[in-house]
Structures are given as structure tokens and as C-alpha cells.
């Protein structure tokens, strides 16, 4: 993944997601890691957007933390690739993704 193709805020979120995965001894960066990082991002757009949609950012953040803590732990691996679901989103192949041109 080429981080230089992302905005500074997106790069920070991916780095924070990796840090969360490392702290919890997870072998991959998953959707929950990234969403948690986006929710906790200072001056990010996700928290205001969630609020406008009627979603409580704090409640969603707490749920992401619960899901992160429930993930299996792996010790000794340091690669931290993207999970398959997150890789699909990154490559724009997720449901509802349309080619921009």
C-alpha cells in the first residue's frame, strides 16, 4: 500500500490503526482498527459526519474497542497487513464502490 497516495489525515489514521493492532497483539489491521482510529482522530471529519447521521461517535468508538479486544491475539508477527475486508475497501472493490473517472 502506498501511503503517499493518501491525504495526511488518512495516513495518520492508517498509522494509528497499525498502532492499535500492535498494542492489542493483532497480526493484521482490520476494519475495526481503522474505524477506531478515524473516530479518535483530532480534527477529523468522521466524528462530525457520524453525529450528522445520528450515530453517537462515543458509542461507536466503545463498540469498536469491544470488538478489538475480542479479536484473537498473535505474538511474534510484525507484518501487519490489511485484513481482506479492509484490502477490498482500499482497492475500491467493496459493495457500493463505483469507478470514478
Is the overall model pTM greater than 0.75, yes or no?
no
Domain that includes residue 70, residue range: 3-90
Q: What is the mean pLDDT of residues 41-46?
A: 92
At 79, the pLDDT band (50, 70, 90 cuts) reads: low
CB contact set of 56 (below 8 Å; sequence gap of 6+): 50
Mind spelling out the 3-state secondary structure of the chain?
CCHHHCCHHHHHHHHHHHHHHHHCCCCCECHHHHHHHHHCCCCCCHHHHHHHCCCCHHHHHHHHHHHHHHCCCCCCCCCCCECHHHHHHHCCCCCCCCCCC
| Number of domains within the chain | 1
Look at residue 50 and tell me whether its pLDDT is greater than 80.
Answer: yes
Residue 97 domain-assigned (yes or no)? no
Residue 98 domain-assigned (yes or no)? no
Residue 99 domain-assigned (yes or no)? no
What's the CATH number where 31 sits? 1.10.1780.10
Share of the chain above pLDDT 90, in %: 61
Amino acid at each position: 500500500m502506498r501511503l503517499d497516495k493518501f491525504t495526511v489525515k488518512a495516513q495518520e489514521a492508517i498509522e494509528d490503526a497499525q498502532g492499535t493492532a500492535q498494542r492489542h497483539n493483532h497480526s493484521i489491521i482490520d476494519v475495526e482498527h481503522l474505524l477506531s482510529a478515524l473516530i479518535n482522530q483530532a480534527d477529523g471529519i468522521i466524528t462530525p459526519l457520524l453525529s450528522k447521521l445520528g450515530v453517537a461517535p462515543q458509542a461507536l468508538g466503545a463498540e469498536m474497542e469491544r470488538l478489538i479486544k475480542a479479536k484473537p491475539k498473535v505474538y511474534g508477527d510484525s507484518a501487519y497487513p490489511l485484513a481482506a475486508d479492509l484490502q477490498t475497501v482500499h482497492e475500491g472493490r467493496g459493495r457500493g464502490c463505483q469507478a470514478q473517472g
